[in-house]
Amino acid sequence: MAQVNNGIGIHDEASDVLQSLNKNAEALRAGNKQARDAMVSDCFRLVASLETPGEAFMRIMWTHSIYPPVIRLASDLKVFDLLKDAEGASKSSVELAKAAGADVRLMSAPPQVSILGITDKETDADSFASTEFANAMADQTYKNTLGLMTPYAASANLTTPEYFKKRDYRWPEDPMDTPVQYPTGDSGKMSFFDMMKRDDQFKGLEGLMKVWLNGRPHWSDEGAGFYPIRKRLIEGADKSPDAAFLVDVGGGHGQDFPRLLANVPETDIPGRLVLQDQPHVIAEITESSLPASVEKMGYDFFTPQPIQGARAYFMHNILHNHTDDKCKLILKQVARAMKKGYSKLLVWDVVMPDQGAGTNVCCLDWEMLTFYATSERTETEWRKLLQDPEIGLKVTDIVHYSRYDQDLIEVELA
Ligand SMILES: C[S@@+](CC[C@H](N)C(=O)[O-])C[C@H]1O[C@@H](n2cnc3c(N)ncnc32)[C@H](O)[C@@H]1O
């Protein structure tokens, strides 16, 4: 029986978690990559089992809400760049303040909270060195993402209870009236996508997508036990020069292509690779950020698909942004372009399990609600949507990787 946690002794729950940690560490050593996620989850459970309710409350309500603004402040003051440029050498708050042109007292606070709070890398009383996390914050992708997260996600999360109270606790149904519009006064005026376009924040969205992908398994990673791309797509593909092999519909800046090409060398790809997104997103892509072999195409996925009969149409993080009615319009366009018995639609999105979803997946589900008035879908919901008789598609497989990841849904013409 679990003992009450008095904050002094390790209770039974902690011992159980430690056993699980050891078991998962052995699995990781034996090459099971999924065990790393389980270990991270174990570590959070371990902390929860050792903390008193008061400590847990302070960590969640206080520490967690302080991190986003302080990390943003440290980023604005170039603390992360300065520490990264120091290449492992320590910097004092005076040195950091001088370089940033900020008050030294203000300067010493953000690195303490954002660097020490996360990784404990204080070299002496007033000396700070970079960490892997801090170095990542100096990367442009993370900077762009911070630019999106702090004004939108962080503000909306704080005012979400107020939003629901004002709407008598009704479930959001209108993508133009969700918690994300509430703090900015945009309720009823525009969707989150339109807000990002107005505020020039699509680079933040693409950054967020890259951060989500960073280090996570890719659908095309057959070796890690994900989708059998060679057997299902490459074998039997039309090899003529005009044939389209894969069309990434709503592919953003093309962030999925380098991961695909890391798993399948370009010489093994039997046809054209095409990236489609809204023209203003395609226009932001720089030459160096996308493999040269990928064709870029401005396209609105609510209109007829210009590439007919591709081997695969790929949609990553697309359908979960839209309500069923909108998804059906998108799906009809792709179904009309597919060739029976040859083309596949690959949907890479979460298939929500009834129980035991990873925290990251649960948070994604909540963000879909607060940003787009949608939810991650369960298997039953996916089948109902994708197999709607009006569209003419059938689900042929669902490849599940882990409870922390999105699943690959393979679809063909019915
Ligand atoms: C959440 S992002 C996903 C990007 C990418 N597939 C990924 O997973 O990294 C959604 C993408 O859909 C694109 N999008 C939104 N509306 C669109 C439309 N009507 N036609 C084409 N693309 C659209 C956005 O510009 C954005 O790049």
Residue 282 lies in a domain: yes
Distance from the alpha carbon of residue 250 to the mean position of ligand 1, in angstroms: 4
Residue 267 lies in a domain: yes
Note the pLDDT of residue 89. Answer: 86
Are residues 161 and 130 located together in one domain of the fold? no
Cα 45 from Cα 71, distance rounded (Å): 25
Note the pLDDT of residue 119. Answer: 57
Are residues 160 and 36 located together in one domain of the fold? no
Question: Can you give the CATH number for the domain in which 370 is found?
Answer: 3.40.50.150
Are residues 198 and 263 located together in one domain of the fold? no
Residue 59 lies in a domain: no
Which ligand 1 atom sits nearest the alpha carbon of residue 315?
6
Note the pLDDT of residue 8. Answer: 46
Per-residue pLDDT tens digits for 84-103 = 998 888 888 889 899 999 99
Could you write out the three-class secondary structure of the chain? CCCCCCCCCCCHHHHHHHHHHHHHHHHHHCCCCHHHHHHHHHHHHHHHHHCCHHHHHHHHHHHHHHHHHHHHHHHHCCHHHHHHHCCCCCECHHHHHHHHCCCHHHHHHHHHHHHHHHHCCEEECCEECCCHHHHHHCCHHHHHHHHHHHHHHHHHHHHHHHHHHHCCCCCCCCCCCCCCCCCCCCCCCCCHHHHHHHCCCHHHHHHHHHHHHCCCCCCCCHHHCCCCHHHHHHCCCCCCCCCEEEEEECCCCCCHHHHHHHHCCHHHCCCEEEEEECHHHHCCCCHHHCCCCEEEEECCCCCCCCCCCCCEEEEECCHHHCCHHHHHHHHHHHHHHCCCCCCEEEEEECEECCCCCCHHHHHHHHHHHHHHCCCCEEHHHHHHHHCCCCCCEEEEEEECCCCCCCEEEEEEEC
Distance from the alpha carbon of residue 17 to the mean position of ligand 1, in angstroms: 40
Are residues 26 and 93 located together in one domain of the fold? no
Residue 2 lies in a domain: no
Q: What is the mean pLDDT of the chain?
A: 91
Residue indicated by tokens 């290449």:
87
Cα 193 from Cα 303, distance rounded (Å): 17
Cα 5 from Cα 202, distance rounded (Å): 46
Q: Which protein residue's CA is at the shortest distance from atom 26 of ligand 1?
A: 252
Note the pLDDT of residue 150. Answer: 85
Distance from the alpha carbon of residue 277 to the mean position of ligand 1, in angstroms: 6
Are residues 73 and 89 located together in one domain of the fold? yes
The proportion of the chain whose per-residue pLDDT surpasses 90, expressed as a percent, equals: 70
Residue 80 lies in a domain: yes
Note the pLDDT of residue 171. Answer: 94
Of the ranges 171-180, 355-364, 391-400, which one carries the lowest mean pLDDT score? 355-364
The answer to whether the beta carbons of residues 227 and 408 sit under 8 Å apart is: yes
Note the pLDDT of residue 10. Answer: 55
Q: End of a domain among 183, 208, 233?
A: 208
Per-residue pLDDT tens digits for 103-144 = 988 887 877 777 766 655 556 667 888 888 889 999 999 999
Reported as a pLDDT band with limits 50, 70 and 90, residue 3 is: very low
Q: Is the pLDDT of residue 250 over 90?
A: yes
150 vs 322, higher pLDDT? 322
Residue 57 lies in a domain: no
Per-residue pLDDT tens digits for 299-311 = 999 999 999 999 9
Q: End of a domain among 156, 182, 208?
A: 208
The answer to whether the beta carbons of residues 243 and 311 sit under 8 Å apart is: yes
Cα 391 from Cα 412, distance rounded (Å): 11
Are residues 304 and 337 located together in one domain of the fold? yes
Note the pLDDT of residue 13. Answer: 85
Question: Can you give the CATH number for the domain in which 118 is found?
Answer: 1.10.10.10
Are residues 108 and 198 located together in one domain of the fold? no
Residue 252 lies in a domain: yes
Are residues 43 and 107 located together in one domain of the fold? no
Note the pLDDT of residue 1. Answer: 39
Q: Which protein residue's CA is at the shortest distance from atom 6 of ligand 1?
A: 251
Q: End of a domain among 101, 116, 134?
A: 134
Q: Which domain holds residue 112?
A: 66-134
Are residues 199 and 269 located together in one domain of the fold? no
Q: Which protein residue's CA is at the shortest distance from atom 23 of ligand 1?
A: 250
Note the pLDDT of residue 93. Answer: 86
Tell me phi and psi for residue 375, to 5 degrees.
-145, 160
Residue indicated by tokens 């939108």:
152
Note the pLDDT of residue 282. Answer: 95
Tell me phi and psi for residue 151, to 5 degrees.
-75, -30
Are residues 398 and 259 located together in one domain of the fold? yes
The answer to whether the beta carbons of residues 396 and 340 sit under 8 Å apart is: no
Q: What's the structural domain count of the chain?
A: 4
Neighbours of 36 (CB within 10 A): 16
Note the pLDDT of residue 2. Answer: 44
Select from 402, 329, 317, 331 the least CA-distant residue to 368.
Answer: 317
Which ligand 1 atom sits nearest the alpha carbon of residue 251?
6
For ligand 1, residues with CB inside 6 Å are 193, 205, 209, 250-252, 255, 277-278, 281, 299-302, 316-318, 321
Residue 170 lies in a domain: yes
Are residues 157 and 83 located together in one domain of the fold? no
Note the pLDDT of residue 346. Answer: 98
* Mean pLDDT calculated for residue range 154-171: 95
Are residues 245 and 102 located together in one domain of the fold? no
Task: List residues bridging with 249 in a β-sheet.
Answer: 276
Note the pLDDT of residue 151. Answer: 85
Q: Which of 275, 290, 318, 320 to mutate to test the pocket of ligand 1 (most atoms within 8 A of CB)?
A: 318
Q: Which protein residue's CA is at the shortest distance from atom 12 of ligand 1?
A: 250
Per-residue pLDDT tens digits for 17-71 = 999 999 999 999 998 888 898 899 899 989 989 999 999 999 999 888 888 888 8
